[in-house]
Structure 1
Amino acid sequence: MATLDDVRRLALALPRTDEKVSWGSACWVVSGKGFVWERPLRRADEAALTAAGIPLPEGDVLGVRVADEGVKQALVTDDPDVYFTTPHFDGYPAVLVRLERIALDELRELVEDAWVQRAPKTVARAWLAEQGR
């Protein structure tokens, strides 16, 4: 089970990353661009999930930027116990994550991939090279 403290630790370990507060919730940005954020469900989210027969998360929810809608759909389809979305995110490359159900190694990969998507290309390339990727 992952926590927001795990997200914080993973995100802040990445170059040029800062933690900010947006709409009262924590978010992490690289060079001013958000890549992961705490995402409490709103009433409209809860209503949409309930109407679709999707169980509401029991703990914290994380929003994560992904490469594109295809990646988002693949995550939601392949592991709906961990990943989900709401109509609010239709047409937007982001997925919601039930932190209580994601393994730490999977969370690390997700946070790092989101960071690579949003970081300046030269910074991302240098970091990837350091990691041997």
Structure 2
Amino acid sequence: MATLDDAIDLITVLPEVVEGTRYGRPTWFVDGTGFAWERPFSKADIKRFGDDPVPQGPILALAVDGLDDKAAALDAGNDGVFTISHFADYPAILIQLDVVDSGVLAEAIIDAWLACAPEPLAQGYLAQQRAD
């Protein structure tokens, strides 16, 4: 279970992260690429849920490194990790912050950052993590 502030804390400690907006929503970028953004549901999104319950609370979208990584993240079966039909062929997952495990959230945020960071920056980060 996490809050948006918890997620922001995890995001902003990563190297070279810049906060901005995209489509009027808070978005976090590395090297000009958005890797995490707040993603409230639109009326159309809510309608697509039909009779299924609509996830409540803050929703964070996170980039993934392709559709295979998206499938793997979804297949892991972690509570609070999901997608919607609007994202069907888009390399991103959605995180229901008030449901997801904090460790799962942290790993997903790092994976999103790694998917978008320039290779030298990502490799430097990973080397530093191994050294720590």
TM-score (norm 1): 0.90
CA distance in 1, matches of 2:89, 2:95: 17
Instruction: Note the alpha carbon deviations across 1:11-43, whole angstroms, 9 max, x for none.
Output: 110111011122232111001111011000011
What is the total number of aligned residue pairs between the two structures?
131
Q: 2:85 aligns with which of 87, 104, 114?
A: 87
Give the unaligned 5+ runs of structure 2.
Answer: none
Q: How does 1:113-124 map to 2 (within 5 A)?
A: 113-124=111-122
Q: How do 1:31-50 residues align onto structure 2 when only pairs under 5 Å count?
A: 31-50=31-50
CA distance in 1, matches of 2:60, 2:28: 11
Matched, 1:29 2:60: no
Residue 53 of structure 2 corresponds to residue 58 of structure 1: no
Q: Which amino acid aligns with 1:120?
A: P
Q: Which runs of 4+ in 1 moved over 3 A?
A: none
CA drift at 1:48 = 1.3
Determine the C-alpha separation between the residues in 1 that align with 2:129 and 2:5: 23
Identity of aligned residues (%): 38
Amino acid in structure 1 at the alignment position of 2:65: A
What CA distance in whole angstroms lies between the structure 1 residues aligned with 2:15 and 2:79? Answer: 31
Q: 1:32-58 CA distances to partner (integer Å, 9 max, x unpaired)?
A: 11101100001111111225x3x2111
RMSD over equivalenced CA pairs, Å: 1.6
Determine helix, strand or coil for the equivalent of 1:57. Answer: coil
